[in-house]
Amino acid sequence: MLNKWIKLGLIYTGVLTLSSCSEPSDNTAPKTGTAATVDTHRILKSSPGAEWLSHSGGYDEQRHSPLAHITQNNVTDLGVTWTYDLATNRGVEATPIVVNGVMYVTSAWSLVYALDARSGEERWVYDPEVDKRVGVNACCDVVNRGVAVYGGKIFVGVIDGRLEALDAKTGAVVWSTVTVDQSKPYTITGAPRVVDGLVLIGNGGAELGVRGYISAYSAETGDLVWRFYTVPNPNKEPDGAASDAAFESVGNISWGDDGAWVTDGGGGTVWDSIVYDHIDDQIIFGVGNGSPWNRTIRDPAGGDNLFLSSIVAVDAKSGAYKWHFQTTPGDNWDYTATQSIILAELPLGKEGAPRRVVMQAPKNGFFYVLDAATGEFISGKPFGPQNWAQGLDANGRPIENPAARYAETPHTQIPGPFGAHNWHPMAYNPDLKLAYIPAQEIPETYAFDPLWASKPAKWNTGADFNTGVIVDLPAGITKFLRASLKGRLIAWDPAKQEARWSVEHGNAWNGGVLSTAGGLVFQGKLDGDFVAYNAGTGTKLWNHNLKSGGISGPTTYEIDGEQYVTITTGWGSGFALVTGYGFDKTVSPTMGKVVTFKLGATSTIPDPDLIEIEKTAKTDRFGTPNQLEAGMVHFARNCAVCHGALTISSGVLPDLRWSVYAGDADAWQAVVNEGVLADAGMVSFSKLLTAEEIEAVRAYVIAQAHNSLAEKAAEK
């Protein structure tokens, strides 16, 4: 019996030019100044320090600050000094940038805010005025993880695929360029990085069928300088791009000749991690999963499919290929390698001499240490439970469990597509030589999708999300499923490849990490608990209730001798939307905030408004068993990633069980088929579903409303 319910767990997922020769010893760089003087030299020299000049503090992406005013001894005096209302009820994942006393931060729908970093006072707000209809292309909510600053400009990647440069003083648009084919379901949620006058940006969309790449644009003009594709073009012909030579030498041979991946792009989106290694003058970036997930469909020839699920290094100026390391050859499970990549020195050379390495804890559950200059595999060990591989061979290639390549038989696997670690930023303390991983345990039953057919602009994975699901689930199952999801913070010794300590978060998921020289590790959680831990032991020293989700990467900075810690908060994002982990109420636009702390401050975070929902079924249960079953399948394939698995909403987007539209067949068709609410983001699904199928979904939704009410009544 239990096995059956564990199998069900999984529905959650599917548905559920300044040259870089500047060395740190060079003292000529300005350590302070306005946004106008931020360049590669200044980011290398002063960051992170009093300011937070790049997405993860510095180009090495360590998210470790040398600031030590806040210590293990005084952290209990940390209090709220100001809050700023981002006025959004959607996911907030941004890490703020702080330059010369000004904070630049983003919110959902790619809005950019400039705030006084001492007081939170608003300087300017920029709204790119995104057409809300593009929201349906976002796999995991319309989030944005932050901006970059360089030469007096603020750079933002917009959810609809634009890259824009704003005047740091006024927020006025200096230039705007479209980086994607907007007829395809590309999105941008990641933060740009700027290196030697080049703005680096990738994109997302590998669940819906796109071809991934990273681009470098001139910070001055917005002109494209180079582009590196991560999967070959449909004919394996040159693109006239920086990646051409890499495909000719190593990439093309790892794909079959029939071009099966053409329709769905192949995937490999570069949606998050980008590192600048100034010693080797190279950009090191993480590449995402295949599209579709299922390799049998994507490439029946069964190759490794470079550069999916890989860490790739290219020349910073030309984008020319230097090396790659593929964490998951022939990805079949959404095992992206886009997670935080951190550059550091570890005592792994001869007689303990420092060796420059890159580290990553990707979705597949193994912690990798690679040589930064060459990509050579140094070591890799699982940082949590996994059952897809028996281990890694001497070259770091996984020794797969044969059952993991689900074919006739589904495979219940850990990690699932949410990964053993997702986008939540990892940090690294170079003094203690510990990496802090926001880890999680979320299994999935992977099954071949018998209904698979390539359809544009929809979830297209080739994996079936309905394995083991039935229309009338037993009472209590949703609580059981939610309780089976686990998150934890792991302090990982990368030299020894073992955990030093870990803290369990239960099913509160977790958030991004900040490490400080004060011997502290800061991390928020989905349940709003923002915690400071002793960096060496994991002992909890301080916490504060954020009254919202606290999943983004915190920032720290100093003004007039005082250290500040900031975290952006909000609800939504992929996990909350899908799992329906929520408030059981509708989330209002007061959920999204910037919250800043300092020692001795005593301000408070305003309570968010949560709107009560009238939980009544708007019509009687209807539909034949076949119709309900069909409705369940179509709901999981088309609706669940936004409105919640099993029809249980997070409170961000409408809970369809209680929707008035569900009570009326014509109104339901007007919304789902005709798209009358398209301006609000609910586009027409007429290209994906017939009127009959749309009515079947309504029957399923209404059945779930009645089931939920019966369950609630039985509890009383």
Nearest distance from C-beta of residue 177 to Ca ion, angstroms: 25
**What are the angstrom distances between the C-alpha of 428 and each of 25, 310, 489, 517, 683?**
22, 21, 13, 11, 42
CA angle 550, 334, 490 (to 5 degrees): 45
Binding mask 554-573 for Ca ion (x = CB under 5 A): --------------------
Nearer to Ca ion, 433 or 455 (CB): 455
Nearer to Ca ion, 271 or 428 (CB): 271
Contacts of Ca ion in 327-356 (CB under 5 A): 334
Structure tokens at 106: 């983003």
48 cis-preceded (ω within 30 degrees of 0): yes
Catalytic residue status for 334: yes
Nearest distance from C-beta of residue 190 to Ca ion, angstroms: 13
What's the maximum distance between 2 C-alpha atoms anywhere in the chain? 76
Structure tokens at 193: 């990085």
3-class DSSP string for 599-625: ECCCECCCCCCEECCCCCCCCCCCCCH
Give yes or no for a contact between 343 and 59, defined as CB atoms under 8 angstroms apart.
Answer: yes
Nearer to Ca ion, 54 or 269 (CB): 269
Structure tokens at 217: 């644009």
Nearest distance from C-beta of residue 161 to Ca ion, angstroms: 17
Nearer to Ca ion, 135 or 292 (CB): 292
Q: Count residues contacting Ca ion (CB under 5 A)?
A: 2
Nearer to Ca ion, 210 or 344 (CB): 210
Nearer to Ca ion, 310 or 596 (CB): 310
Nearer to Ca ion, 150 or 575 (CB): 575
Smallest Cα–Cα separation from 443: which of 55, 16, 138? 16
Binding mask 164-183 for Ca ion (x = CB under 5 A): --------------------
One-letter amino acid identity for 184? Answer: K
Smallest Cα–Cα separation from 698: which of 656, 638, 652? 656
Nearest distance from C-beta of residue 574 to Ca ion, angstroms: 9
Give yes or no for a contact between 51 and 30, defined as CB atoms under 8 angstroms apart.
Answer: no
Instruction: Return phi, psi of residue 211, to 5°.
Output: -110, 125
Nearest distance from C-beta of residue 419 to Ca ion, angstroms: 9
Among 177, 289, 412, 627, binds Ca ion (CB under 5 A): 289
One-letter amino acid identity for 48? Answer: P
Burial 498-509 (b: 16+ CB within 10 A, else e): ebbbbbebebbb
Instruction: Return phi, psi of residue 641, to 5°.
Output: -65, -20
C-alpha–C-alpha distance, residues 300 and 180, integer Å: 28
Nearer to Ca ion, 263 or 289 (CB): 289
Residue 669's CB: how many other CB atoms inside 10 A? 17
Nearest distance from C-beta of residue 286 to Ca ion, angstroms: 12
Q: Assign 27 to helix, strand or coil.
A: coil
Q: Assign 304 to helix, strand or coil.
A: coil
Smallest Cα–Cα separation from 212: which of 257, 249, 243, 237? 243
Q: Assign 114 to helix, strand or coil.
A: strand
Nearest distance from C-beta of residue 704 to Ca ion, angstroms: 27
Contact between 93 and Ca ion by CB under 5 A: the answer reads no
Structure tokens at 280: 């080797």
Nearer to Ca ion, 212 or 512 (CB): 212
Contact between 272 and Ca ion by CB under 5 A: the answer reads no
Q: Which stretch binds Ca ion (CB under 5 A): 123-131, 289-297, 403-411, 424-432?
A: 289-297
Nearest distance from C-beta of residue 422 to Ca ion, angstroms: 9
Q: Assign 327 to helix, strand or coil.
A: coil
Contact between 444 and Ca ion by CB under 5 A: the answer reads no
Residue 154's CB: how many other CB atoms inside 10 A? 28
Nearest distance from C-beta of residue 336 to Ca ion, angstroms: 5
Nearest distance from C-beta of residue 329 to Ca ion, angstroms: 17
Annotated catalytic residue, options 244, 280, 331, 334: 334
CB within 8 Å of 335: residues ≥ 6 apart: 289, 309, 327, 328, 362, 363, 364, 415, 419
Instruction: Quote the DSSP letter at residue 489.
Output: E
**What are the angstrom distances between the C-alpha of 244 and each of 167, 235, 240, 312?**
35, 12, 7, 14
Nearer to Ca ion, 360 or 627 (CB): 360
Report the catalytic residues: 334
Binding site for Ca ion (CB under 5 A): 289, 334
